Structure 1
Amino acid sequence: MSNRSGHYSEYPQHHPHDHGRALPRRPVASQAVAAPLPTQEGYTLVHAGKQVRFGPVVFWIVVGTVTLLGMWSAATATYFAFRDDVLTRLIARQAEMQYAYEDRIAELRAKVDRTTSRQLLDQEQFDQKLEQIMRRQTALESRATALGTIPDNSVTGSIRPPSRGAAATDAAASGTPKPSPINDTVIFVAPPDREARLESRAPIVTDVQPNQFAKIQGVDNVLGRLQASLDQVEGRQIAALNAVEDGMESRVRRMRGVFTDLGLDMAQLEAATPRVGMGGPFVPVKLSANAGAFERQLYRINITRAQVERLNRTLALVPYRKPVVGEVEFTSGFGVRTDPFLGRPAMHTGLDFRASTGDPVRVTANGKVVSSGWAGGYGRMVEVDHGNGLSTRYGHLSEIDVKVGDQVKIGQMMGAVGSTGRSTGPHLHYETRIDGEAVDPQKFLRAGVRLSAG
């Protein structure tokens, strides 16, 4: 039991000299009047007759320590009491966070996979479009090559005088100028699109690599420009092909019209056409089943071109060209006229071309010389048989350069203009005959003009 030190104890105080003497018992009330002892602050702990005095600081330290220990014990007891629930919540929290992270990672991975797949798909589509464009360009280049191999089978020349300048110089240098309205020179002319180039192809293909992932809009613009460029080239090729086809078909119609206008049997003339040195195995022309419009049109053009070549060989036997070079001026036409010597009406069986002595006279169609020499009123005269009853005569020549039996070609010089025979001055007397009967040469010349007009 602890008491404040300022109070009196209930037991009497004994002096050491009082041992052995009996002290009288005093009443309890009398004890209250004893003199007080000096007071001391602190706390006394009494146990089993022993006293332990504590100061106030030590006392409160002890009390605080005991209190903290009690609180710690309570907290520990509570922790262990609720330990399982806390751990469960913590584990659940950790699991929830882990699942959330895994879901986020899976979502990001799926997004990356989708992005990669989309990029691969875009790349594949770009490669396919680029490959398609390259195949189309290759096809257009092969078409341009095919167009370049199509010769111009048109027969050139007319009754107009030859053009001066480079053409006249070339003709003079060759030594065999073409005297006829139309000659058989075949000129190979490349179509306009043969020189066409894909301006955008080289830089575009260089700048845009197949493995470069550009923006879709930019790639589409590049492919669009390529497609537009190819469309322009294809359009020019189709236009050139249409022009070639129309020109050849028109040429065939005019060539067939020559035979109709002249009343000639085209089949007989084709049969009489001499065969040139050609041959080889027969390989039929076949058009593939998957051929496009361009290939089918090119096939038709090749068929028409073969017809033009055959008709050209046949027309080489028809004398529709003029026999002299230069301006055409007739001094006397075909038909009834006044005879220059007798002054009486007479039949003039040919055309008289104004010319100077020594001017070259040329063959108007392929044939064979059947007469060469003096022939009465013709003077010096050459007659050429062209087959199938067609023949031509060239009279009043001053000189003759061919002999009987010679095979002559169109434009070949056979003599020179003169005034031999029954003539009043230098000129060329020219006749065309069918089965020995003289016909108007202008009929043939007009047919040649119409044929060369296209």
Structure 2
Amino acid sequence: MKQTGQSAVFGRRKEPHTVIIARGNEIRHFTIRPWLAAFIGSALAAIAIGYLLATSYLVLRDDLIGATTARQARMQQAYEDRISALRAQVDRITSRQLLDQQLMETKVSELLARQTQLSERHGRLGPILERAENEVGDAPAAGAAAPKPDGRAEVTGSLSQSPNYSVASLGASDTRPFSLWSTRSDPLDGETAADRADKLFVSINASLKAIENQQLSRITTLADNAYKNADAIAQALEAAGLPVDSELDKSDVGGPLVPLDPSMAFDGKVKELDEALDALDQVKKEARKLPLANPAPGHTVTSPFGVRTDPILGSAALHTGMDFRAPIGMPAKVTAAGTVTRAGWAGGYGRMVEVDHGNGFATRYGHLSEIDVAVGQKLAVGDVIGKTGSSGRSTGPHLHYEVRHDGEAVDPLRFLTVGKKVAQFL
């Protein structure tokens, strides 16, 4: 009774669901638990949803596959376009590098050709400049260097030194540095290394051109000096009435005007310098044949050439030479190259030496105390022929000096005056 009352108070008992199946005389029943019903319902719902999803997939599969294929095609096309653009850019860069490399090789070849030309010129200039130094007495300045265009190039050279240059790491067979330079820029000024290389080549060319101009200018100066020296010697000899056989007059020329090829300018200048040195050498040889030196430099002339009072007889007489005050034993020197024709006692001359200089010129040295040469001996200017004294017809120690042309005595002062004028050129 108590339990019934409690059930009445707290509610009725919930009975499980029962499924009854009647078939003829057979009656079956099943009790369905709530959780089982929930499970079966969930399974059916899942199957339905899966069926719907599968159906939807089968229906929409072709569309999804088509969309995916189209997307992949678009991506592939984009990649191909990008690859084509990159290939085109690489081709442009490669073409530019090849053009830059060809330009660099051309410029380097030009520089090498110019260096070879300057080296050949140096080989030709060496002997002629040495000759010019000896003949003209104006040696070319050595060690002159062209300015450095920048820190990567240097050009050096002079008339007496073979020019050379170096260009960083550039070379006719070096393609890598320049190819890299062509695509690299300076972050500070935006200037590519190729531009800097162009400026470098321009600067080197300017330096080499400066060396060439210096060579031509120096050769021209030496030629002018050689002609001036030859003219000065010839004019001094002619003014003194001395014979000179030279062909310095270049005015009797003519012909059509033909423009000069710049490449031939150097050869023309070298030829001109060579001709000028030949002319100067010819005049010098003729001048050196003349007795122009002083036989007793630094000593006083006690009796000049010409009419004088004879120191022994006291009457007027012709003095055929010049007397130089000189102590006994002072070396007497020949005034020009020649050959000894007389060496011994010669009457009033006392001990006398006569030297033949060619072209009819001869010199005599009298009143010697000692003779140090023999007949037939070859002498050079300045050689000692004996020692001064007072032998023969003399009133005291001195050197009697005569100059004769074709056997006739001429005034030695004329030769000594010319000798002073042309001494700096000889």
Task: Give the TM-score normalised by structure 2.
Answer: 0.68
Superposed displacement of residue 51, structure 1: 6.8
For residue 364 of structure 2, give the secondary structure of its aligned residue in structure 1: strand
> What does residue range 211-226 of structure 1 map to in structure 2 within 5 Å?
211=174, 213=177, 215=181, 216=193
Q: Distance in 1 between matches of 2:293 and 2:234?
A: 16
For the structure 1 residues 396 and 94, does the alpha-carbon distance in structure 2 shift closer, same or farther, using more than 3 Å as the test? same
Correspondence for 1:89 among 60, 67, 70: 67
> What does residue range 14-33 of structure 1 map to in structure 2 within 5 Å?
none
Q: Distance in 1 between matches of 2:93 and 2:220?
A: 49
Correspondence for 2:265 among 270, 293, 304: 293
1:316 and 2:259 aligned: no
Superposed displacement of residue 94, structure 1: 0.9
1:79 and 2:57 aligned: yes
Correspondence for 2:15 among 3, 18, 40: 40
Cα deviations by residue, 1:79-123 (Å, 9 ceiling, x for unpaired): 333433332222221122112222223333443444444445545
Cα deviations by residue, 1:270-316 (Å, 9 ceiling, x for unpaired): xxxxxxxxxxxxxxxxxx98844333322222222233333333333
Q: Is the 8 A contact 1:380 1:421 kept in 2?
A: yes
Q: Is the 8 A contact 2:154 2:167 kept in 1?
A: no
Q: Distance in 2 between matches of 1:204 and 1:85?
A: 74
For the structure 1 residues 92 and 443, does the alpha-carbon distance in structure 2 shift closer, same or farther, using more than 3 Å as the test? farther
Q: Distance in 2 between matches of 1:268 and 1:404?
A: 32
- Cross-structure match for 1:17: none
* Residue type of the alignment partner of 1:303: E
- Cross-structure match for 1:377: 348
Superposed displacement of residue 370, structure 1: 4.2
For the structure 1 residues 317 and 339, does the alpha-carbon distance in structure 2 shift closer, same or farther, using more than 3 Å as the test? same
> What does residue range 23-422 of structure 1 map to in structure 2 within 5 Å?
40=15, 42=17, 54-150=32-128, 191-193=140-142, 208=169, 210=171, 211=174, 213=177, 215=181, 216=193, 237-238=215-216, 240-267=218-245, 291-324=263-296, 326-422=297-393
- Cross-structure match for 1:432: 403
For the structure 1 residues 392 and 152, does the alpha-carbon distance in structure 2 shift closer, same or farther, using more than 3 Å as the test? farther
* Residue type of the alignment partner of 2:332: V
After TM superposition, the structure 1 stretch with the greater mean CA deviation from structure 2, 62-71 or 185-194, is 185-194
Q: Distance in 2 between matches of 1:108 and 1:134?
A: 38
Superposed displacement of residue 441, structure 1: 1.9
After TM superposition, the structure 1 stretch with the greater mean CA deviation from structure 2, 199-208 or 59-68, is 199-208
For residue 297 of structure 1, give the secondary structure of its aligned residue in structure 2: helix
Q: Which runs of 5+ in 1 are unaligned?
A: 1-36, 156-184, 270-287
Q: Is the 8 A contact 2:136 2:225 kept in 1?
A: no
Q: Is the 8 A contact 2:155 2:208 kept in 1?
A: no
For residue 423 of structure 2, give the secondary structure of its aligned residue in structure 1: helix
Q: Distance in 2 between matches of 1:45 and 1:261?
A: 168
1:444 and 2:415 aligned: yes
Q: Distance in 2 between matches of 1:266 and 1:248?
A: 17
* Residue type of the alignment partner of 2:383: Q
Q: Is the 8 A contact 1:152 1:187 kept in 2?
A: no
Q: Is the 8 A contact 1:262 1:443 kept in 2?
A: yes
- Cross-structure match for 1:16: none
Q: Distance in 1 between matches of 2:51 and 2:69?
A: 26
Superposed displacement of residue 250, structure 1: 2.5
For the structure 1 residues 395 and 44, does the alpha-carbon distance in structure 2 shift closer, same or farther, using more than 3 Å as the test? same
Q: Is the 8 A contact 1:151 1:188 kept in 2?
A: no
For residue 315 of structure 1, give the secondary structure of its aligned residue in structure 2: helix
- The structure whose Rg is larger is 1
Identity of aligned residues (%): 38
* Residue type of the alignment partner of 1:307: A
* Residue type of the alignment partner of 2:124: A
After TM superposition, the structure 1 stretch with the greater mean CA deviation from structure 2, 293-302 or 259-268, is 259-268
Comparing both structures, which one devotes a greater share of its residues to strand?
2
Q: Is the 8 A contact 2:132 2:277 kept in 1?
A: no
For the structure 1 residues 154 and 123, does the alpha-carbon distance in structure 2 shift closer, same or farther, using more than 3 Å as the test? closer
For the structure 1 residues 186 and 380, does the alpha-carbon distance in structure 2 shift closer, same or farther, using more than 3 Å as the test? farther
Q: Distance in 2 between matches of 1:447 and 1:356?
A: 27
Q: Distance in 1 between matches of 2:132 and 2:271?
A: 19
The number of equivalent residue pairs is 371
Q: Is the 8 A contact 1:43 1:56 kept in 2?
A: no
- Cross-structure match for 1:15: none
Q: Distance in 2 between matches of 1:128 and 1:384?
A: 67
For residue 411 of structure 1, give the secondary structure of its aligned residue in structure 2: coil
Superposed displacement of residue 149, structure 1: 1.7
Q: Distance in 2 between matches of 1:250 and 1:153?
A: 16
For residue 266 of structure 1, give the secondary structure of its aligned residue in structure 2: coil
Task: Give the TM-score normalised by structure 1.
Answer: 0.64
Superposed displacement of residue 417, structure 1: 1.6
Structure possessing the higher relative contact order (Cα contacts under 8 Å, 6 or more residues apart)? 1
For the structure 1 residues 328 and 75, does the alpha-carbon distance in structure 2 shift closer, same or farther, using more than 3 Å as the test? farther
- Cross-structure match for 2:3: none
For the structure 1 residues 225 and 258, does the alpha-carbon distance in structure 2 shift closer, same or farther, using more than 3 Å as the test? same
Q: Distance in 2 between matches of 1:402 and 1:97?
A: 114
Superposed displacement of residue 426, structure 1: 1.7
